[in-house]
Amino acid sequence: MPRRPVKRVPQLLAILVLAATTAAVWAAWLGWDQHRDVHPDGSVTGPYEAWQVIGLVLTLMPPLYWAASRGYVAGAVLGVTAGLTVAAYVDWSDDSSGLFMVGVLMVMAGSLVTTVGATAVIASMKKRTR
């Protein structure tokens, strides 16, 4: 079976659209909650609740599926990863300790691994249905 050449312009557009969508979804789910919760026992949690992160992930699934099911696997992986990385950097860059970069790198690595896995599953499911 001959391989199709990679369509560069659609892949680039998929990357840009998914990165912008991902950053907007981050702002909608996580951008507004910036305070930490102090519990009666003195422990501190936050600033995000689990339901916010779950909502972010579930909201990102349809655009990821859209791109991956149309063959824009690189666009799906790089767009979501870039969007989450940039959003985390912008959101956390006011941290005075400088440790925010550790968190940003963890977001980048985790989103890269997760989106590679999700797009691989989506692409393989689409190949089976064809």
What pLDDT, on a 0 to 100 scale, did the predictor assign at position 65?
A: 95
1 is a domain residue: no
Residue linked to tokens 């790198």: 105
What pLDDT, on a 0 to 100 scale, did the predictor assign at position 5?
A: 60
- Furthest-apart CA pair in the chain: how many Å? 65
Q: Consecutive 10-residue runs of the chain (130 residues): their mean pLDDT?
A: 67 93 96 80 82 95 93 93 96 86 96 96 80
Cβ atoms of 31 and 15 within 8 Å: the answer is no
* DSSP summary character for residue 47: S
Q: Which amino acid is at 2?
A: P
Q: Which domain holds residue 92?
A: 8-129
Beta-carbon-side half-sphere exposure of residue 15 (alpha carbons within 13 Å): 11
Count of domains forming the chain:
1
3 is a domain residue: no
Task: Find the angle CA(110)-CA(13)-CA(128) to the nearest 5 degrees.
Answer: 65
Residue linked to tokens 């659609």: 10
120 is a domain residue: yes
What pLDDT, on a 0 to 100 scale, did the predictor assign at position 31?
A: 86
What pLDDT, on a 0 to 100 scale, did the predictor assign at position 45?
A: 76
2 is a domain residue: no
What pLDDT, on a 0 to 100 scale, did the predictor assign at position 130?
A: 61
14 is a domain residue: yes
122 is a domain residue: yes
